[in-house]
Chain A
């Protein structure tokens, strides 16, 4: 919706295609608050945040097409084939923005040994059942992964009458935001097992038992540290995977994260194709997603109007301690907003953008809180061959 808005504000005709019956995606089931503090300067629930955008796009020249599935994309022919209950459509476009978000890593991807019983849910599916379908996924649950949605589901399931016996995280620090650790676990006395992982699941028909163990530095289970939980439900919050498959043969995709590789305008390796949101990198906050969506929409519209020709793309290189970095290229027609996730928690560091573009000191940084900052485009010499982003020890 933010991309549609960004595009429409440039005066182009916009078609917004959504496969669900309602715009907003996963926001619609995120009935907790904490959304919008940056974008709208107020605290909203997920559905409220989505509704703000629904109102914003209503007033523009945007047609929305819900219950519509993009069957095939032919970016070189500027055509999308769309399936819906009213038939098949070929839609011609001058520019395309892909905002397909991410999916949850499924249980099968974790290669956890044991049985394959019912009762193992991704956190998002469990959330859907509880918050929208009005059904509980079980009686007694263990949660694997301390990403934000795992933490939020620990609280939600507790409030709705299930017993949550713990949250298991293989890293030595939580994956979700600090505020969620406090408000979802500490406030409800739910134990957090750091440096632990699930080593087995058992159950005939329905899940009956989950085994966990402490892990060493290589995430290998440590013998003799096994614990058993008699639970009928295992909730997984083990990472999100960008949904980029529809364009996998056409644009550059990060082979490790599967995210689209884009510039600061959202442009992919194809001039007329843009992407933004969790299909590029996994963001902490929807506010960031909206900001980048809006930007990608705006530049897609400018491309469609042929108002700008794509400028030279300066590569942005992730340096020391950088786990996640956005964007991967810089184009001069937009300021450079950088989003960085460090590899591990660090103290007394400096985030620097070389050569000599930006530098800021941090007392403490951690992978669960993204660092983001904006560099105005006039501060970046257009003649650079590359830009380097690093997090280094602060010597001063």
Chain B
């Protein structure tokens, strides 16, 4: 059985990991140089509790189930996950009514640990919140993670268990014979396939079209973000949402897993031709800052270190679109992965592999006896004890050479990230947090480029920042 997963975002990666538990020939295709570089890279990083999805929708059931699965998954994959809880805050009587409605939805969605808090209770949890708050809905099961690391870790774990990962590979078509997929055609190869998982995020309707399969049309909804340095200290302790509207969860303030603070996103609906438009705008950033400042006044704007934008794929029905097709047989759509796609990902993987594939495609999969769910993390000695770090340095002195001083990343961590497949500066950044700190690479970019060039045998001027064309240096000053 040949299974090809197209797209190594959080959803494709989670499905691939789940599939790698079974005896089959698994190939993961990704058009970017790394897993998790599309929608997955730029979102709020929240593992939602699941109270705001309309009861009865697919996204409601998969969200609350996904939330329950996160802790164990992240423990196995050695990815940071913190169950810090969330607060939806209300400033008016009408907003309090919405909180009651969310509470009711949450109960229908089987969400545990919901509580309505009064003003004093809210402010004792979050002293920096706008003092005009009158109530909040507290959800203790909400958490935060690093979305791209979940995707990278899932892919690494799948590869550990026998899957093949092909980055920089774009699917351009399918060979279909007698209503069955035979091959996936890529820009460089022809790959045999019995089952194809379409997890292509912002492009899943386009890929479905290539296979001649229906998929509701997608359009991108762009969200802009502002990141505040961890050195500003704890601004909030949990995820702070405004009261949502029918259309959007609103602009939030939340901690990141490494101690920074993220604010955003706004929501701009773009046309279906703007599927790569991750530019920020003056109005967008202003809106984020204004609305976030309403939730939490006096945000330390002088500690901002980064602004960015991400896309979410929206369908007209605003629900996930997950189907197993029989014409051609074996094409599985996993599309419309708007919020809470990150949260739902492990539950989606379970739904696709344990329900859709056996029930709809009538394939019985056999579990591997030797599946290993544990991923080995790149060690980060700055988080360990002096004794342990000392030992590591005694084994290899490169554990003692700090390359990125802001986040205390050692030379060995950089080298290990490259050995695991990082080929560009951004790939190293997302895997190690080097260049991710307060100086944003001002002090260490040249050092990391040298290590990357050395490990890969490239010339320094051939090192890229991210995608093809993102060159950094223009040759030598003198020969």
Q: Which residues of A contact B (CB under 8 A)?
A: 19, 67, 69, 71, 81, 83-88, 90, 103-104, 106-109, 111-119, 122, 124-125, 128-130, 132-139, 160-161, 199-200, 202, 204-206, 232, 241, 245, 248, 256, 258
Q: How far is the CB of B42 from chain A (nearest CB, A)?
A: 10
Q: Is B470 in contact with A117, judged by CB distance below 8 angstroms?
A: yes
22 pairs, A vs B, C-beta closer than 8 Å = A67-B401, A85-B398, A88-B393, A103-B438, A104-B439, A106-B440, A106-B441, A108-B305, A111-B226, A111-B304, A113-B279, A113-B284, A114-B280, A115-B279, A117-B465, A118-B472, A125-B441, A125-B442, A128-B446, A129-B446, A136-B477, A202-B279
Given contacts A113-B280, A136-B476, A245-B438, contact A118 B471 (CB under 8 A): yes
In angstroms, Cα B474 to Cα A137, docked, is: 6
Q: Is A122 in contact with B408, judged by CB distance below 8 angstroms?
A: no
In angstroms, Cα B469 to Cα A336, docked, is: 55
Q: Is A137 in contact with B397, judged by CB distance below 8 angstroms?
A: no
Closest chain A residue, CB of each to CB of B465: A118
Q: Is B446 in contact with A256, judged by CB distance below 8 angstroms?
A: no
Q: Note all chain B residues with C-beta closer than 8 A to A111.
A: 226, 285, 304, 307
Q: How far is the CB of B229 from chain A (nearest CB, A)?
A: 9
In angstroms, Cα B81 to Cα A170, docked, is: 42
Q: Note all chain A residues with C-beta closer than 8 A to B472.
A: 118-119, 137
In angstroms, Cα B445 to Cα A104, docked, is: 13
Q: Note all chain A residues with C-beta closer than 8 A to B439.
A: 103-104, 106
7 nearest A-B pairs in the assembled complex, by CB-CB distance: A205-B469, A106-B440, A108-B306, A118-B465, A85-B397, A69-B402, A118-B470
Q: Is A86 in contact with B408, judged by CB distance below 8 angstroms?
A: no
Given contacts A108-B307, A109-B305, A125-B441, contact A86 B393 (CB under 8 A): yes
Q: Note all chain B residues with C-beta closer than 8 A to A134.
A: 476-478
Not counting A83-B389, A125-B443, A205-B468, a sample of 17 additional A-B residue pairs whose C-beta atoms are within 8 angstroms of each other reads: A87-B390, A88-B400, A106-B442, A108-B305, A109-B302, A109-B305, A109-B440, A113-B279, A113-B285, A115-B279, A116-B278, A118-B465, A135-B476, A135-B477, A136-B475, A199-B282, A205-B466
In angstroms, Cα B282 to Cα A112, docked, is: 7
Q: Is A87 in contact with B400, judged by CB distance below 8 angstroms?
A: yes
Given contacts A108-B227, A199-B282, contact A103 B443 (CB under 8 A): yes
Closest chain B residue, CB of each to CB of A241: B438
Cross-chain contact of B231 among A85, A109, A118, A245 (Cβ < 8 A): A245
Q: Is A204 in contact with B284, judged by CB distance below 8 angstroms?
A: no
Q: Note all chain A residues with C-beta closer than 8 A to B306.
A: 106, 108
Q: Note all chain A residues with C-beta closer than 8 A to B308.
A: 116
Q: How far is the CB of A144 from chain B (nearest CB, A)?
A: 15
Q: Note all chain B residues with C-beta closer than 8 A to A136.
A: 473-477
Tell me the residues in window 445-475 of chain B with beta carbons closer than 8 Å to chain A beta carbons.
445-446, 460-461, 464-475
In angstroms, Cα B442 to Cα A107, docked, is: 10
Q: Is B279 in contact with A125, judged by CB distance below 8 angstroms?
A: no
Dominant SS at the B interface?
Answer: mixed
Q: Note all chain B residues with C-beta closer than 8 A to A109.
A: 302, 304-305, 440
Q: Counting CB contacts under 8 A, is B56 at the interface?
A: no
Q: Note all chain A residues with C-beta closer than 8 A to B466.
A: 118, 205
In angstroms, Cα B470 to Cα A253, docked, is: 39
Given contacts A108-B306, A108-B307, A111-B307, contact A137 B473 (CB under 8 A): yes
Q: Is B400 in contact with A83, judged by CB distance below 8 angstroms?
A: yes
Q: Counting CB contacts under 8 A, is B382 at the interface?
A: yes
Given contacts A69-B405, A114-B279, A133-B460, contact A205 B467 (CB under 8 A): yes
Q: Counting CB contacts under 8 A, is B316 at the interface?
A: no
Q: Note all chain B residues with C-beta closer than 8 A to A199.
A: 282
Q: How far is the CB of A379 from chain B (nearest CB, A)?
A: 37
Q: Is A256 in contact with B302, judged by CB distance below 8 angstroms?
A: yes
Q: Counting CB contacts under 8 A, is B281 at the interface?
A: yes
B276-298 CB mask vs A (1 if < 8 Å, else 0) is 00111110110000000000000
Given contacts A109-B305, A113-B285, A205-B470, contact A86 B400 (CB under 8 A): yes
In angstroms, Cα B302 to Cα A103, docked, is: 14
Q: Is A85 in contact with B460, judged by CB distance below 8 angstroms?
A: no
Residue of B382, B400, B461 with highest tally of chain A CB at under 10 A = B400
Closest chain A residue, CB of each to CB of B479: A134
In angstroms, Cα B408 to Cα A166, docked, is: 36
Q: Note all chain B residues with C-beta closer than 8 A to A113.
A: 279-282, 284-285, 307
Q: Is B470 in contact with A71, judged by CB distance below 8 angstroms?
A: no
Q: Is B279 in contact with A206, judged by CB distance below 8 angstroms?
A: no
Q: Note all chain B residues with C-beta closer than 8 A to A204.
A: 469
Q: Counting CB contacts under 8 A, is B386 at the interface?
A: yes
Q: Counting CB contacts under 8 A, is B270 at the interface?
A: no
Q: Is B440 in contact with A107, judged by CB distance below 8 angstroms?
A: yes
Q: How far is the CB of A30 from chain B (nearest CB, A)?
A: 15
Residue of B393, B438, B446 with highest tally of chain A CB at under 10 A = B438
Q: Counting CB contacts under 8 A, is B172 at the interface?
A: no
Closest chain A residue, CB of each to CB of B282: A113
Q: Note all chain B residues with C-beta closer than 8 A to A160.
A: 477
Q: How far is the CB of A95 from chain B (nearest CB, A)?
A: 23
In angstroms, Cα B222 to Cα A115, docked, is: 13
In angstroms, Cα B386 to Cα A365, docked, is: 51
Q: Is A133 in contact with B446, judged by CB distance below 8 angstroms?
A: yes
In angstroms, Cα B475 to Cα A84, docked, is: 33
Q: Is B386 in contact with A81, judged by CB distance below 8 angstroms?
A: yes
In angstroms, Cα B478 to Cα A160, docked, is: 9
Tell me the residues in window 297-349 of chain B with beta carbons closer than 8 Å to chain A beta carbons.
302, 304-308
Residue of B307, B382, B445 with highest tally of chain A CB at under 10 A = B307
In angstroms, Cα B285 to Cα A116, docked, is: 14
Q: Note all chain A residues with C-beta closer than 8 A to B108.
A: none
Q: Counting CB contacts under 8 A, is B394 at the interface?
A: yes
In angstroms, Cα B389 to Cα A87, docked, is: 8
Q: Note all chain B residues with C-beta closer than 8 A to A118.
A: 464-466, 470-472
In angstroms, Cα B386 to Cα A107, docked, is: 34
Cross-chain contact of A88 among B279, B390, B438, B461 (Cβ < 8 A): B390
In angstroms, Cα B405 to Cα A259, docked, is: 19
In angstroms, Cα B471 to Cα A119, docked, is: 8
Q: Note all chain A residues with C-beta closer than 8 A to B475.
A: 135-136
Q: Is A69 in contact with B442, judged by CB distance below 8 angstroms?
A: no
Residue of B389, B442, B460 with highest tally of chain A CB at under 10 A = B442
Q: Is A104 in contact with B476, judged by CB distance below 8 angstroms?
A: no
Q: Is B401 in contact with A129, judged by CB distance below 8 angstroms?
A: no
Q: Note all chain B residues with C-beta closer than 8 A to A108.
A: 227, 304-307, 440
